[in-house]
Amino acid sequence: MTLLGLVATLALTVTTAAAQPVPIKVGLALDTSGPFSGPGQDAQRGFDLAIKQLGGKLGGQAAEFIRVDMAGNPDQARQLAERFVRKDKVDFFSGPIASNVALAAGPVMFAAKIPYLSNNAGPSQYAGAKCNPYFFGTAYQNDQFHEAAGKFAKDRGFKKMVVIAPNYPAGRDGITGFKRTYGGAVANELYVKVGQLDFSTELARLRAEKPDSLYFFLPGAMGINFIKQFNAAGLQKDITLVSTGFSADEDVIGAVGAPMEGLYNTAHWAHDLDNAANRAFVAAYRKDFGGKAPSIYAAQAYDVVMSIDAAVRQVKGKMSDRPAIVAALAKADFASVRGPFKYANNHYPIENFYLRVVTKDATGTMSNKLAGTVLTNYGDAYAAECKLPAPVRS
């Protein structure tokens, strides 16, 4: 090749490279193994469905979704978060399931000024005085979820409550939230190890305590094993179970079966919630995943991607303008499967919480059925401590 030809080839290569847009990069910290693998796999399906519907783009622009399995491990979370920042140079970050892992990953994202949209964890540490403009608790604040259950237990008139949860940030936030709205005295608080699957000791204590009701927050495999063992011990005859969607969602119902029927639980979403975005999401999810009803974790992950898509569209893909991106995210200007919601100043949602009951349909399939609204346009208890301004909405 002549020198002139080589120069022309190089010029063409440079021009072609320059014409290729740099993809918008999203880091997804998944939990496809470890103690939260069930919820983590459901979340992955929600992410995948949204990405598919958007044609792999965000705001109409090329996007790349980089996935790692954090396996519910806070010890490796910081290292993997730093890889997302330094090596992958992500523009957005989402995941993982557990609050203790989110607390480990958060500071890395905040230092790099990368928007962190939590698809599940809503730790109180990021809701109050230590709130951060780059953190969005897109799903809920931990206490909120359990405050709805506390309100339900109070309204039902349960007098002697025992509560049980894993001994990690979300578990402690959960019990705090439940007690805040329940109002009455809690006879006992039982904290178990994250990932614990044998509850013989706790069941013996319940038999001795003789409460009229038990509030349990045991997500994933913990909840599955607990309900099976609780019923095998015959405790369901005298103790009414109350929970949230985390311990009574579609993954748990499918694994436990008949003992779930009639169990009341509270959540910010239900698969039969009647709005256009939700109807479309549920139909698409059932089509793609063998007719199975989506879980809370799938719905939340789906919303995260749609939220990012709307924000990128609003800033016209200008990823260098981080304040504009944060402002666009704070508007929450997208069609959520939960229906209308908005962010408070601490970037946690103000939203409805519903009562659901596990019910058998005409085909004999059990799933959650919407049974009412427990809390309306409900914010969290920590927002007043946050010094961030309220989001500016169009």
Q: What is the spatial distance between Cα 243 and Cα 241, in angstroms, rounded to a whole number? A: 7
Q: What is the spatial distance between Cα 96 and Cα 69, in angstroms, rounded to a whole number? A: 9
Q: Is the pLDDT of residue 7 over 90?
A: no
Confidence tier at 94 by pLDDT (50, 70, 90): very high
- Mean pLDDT in residue range 106-134: 97
Q: Is the pLDDT of residue 376 over 50?
A: yes
What is the 3-class SS of 365-389, one letter each residue? CEEEEEEEEEEEEECCCCHHHCCCC
- Mean pLDDT in residue range 129-158: 96
Residue predicted with more confidence, 25 or 7: 25
* pTM for this prediction: 0.91
pLDDT of residue 18: 46
Q: What is the spatial distance between Cα 311 and Cα 327, in angstroms, rounded to a whole number? A: 8
pLDDT of residue 394: 64
- Mean pLDDT in residue range 34-49: 94
* Residues 123 and 99: beta-carbon distance below 8 Å: yes
Helices (H), the chain: 3-19, 37-53, 74-83, 99-112, 142-156, 169-182, 200-209, 221-232, 250-256, 276-288, 296-314, 322-331
Looking only at the bridges linking them, the beta strands covering 349-360 and 366-378 are antiparallel
Q: What is the spatial distance between Cα 281 and Cα 45, in angstroms, rounded to a whole number? A: 12
**Structure token digits, residue 247:** 């311990």
Q: What is the spatial distance between Cα 1 and Cα 43, in angstroms, rounded to a whole number? A: 53
Share of the chain above pLDDT 70, in %: 95
pLDDT in tens, 310-361: 999 999 999 999 999 999 999 999 999 999 999 999 999 999 999 999 999 8
Q: What is the spatial distance between Cα 70 and Cα 95, in angstroms, rounded to a whole number? A: 9
Q: Is the pLDDT of residue 80 over 90?
A: yes
pLDDT of residue 246: 86
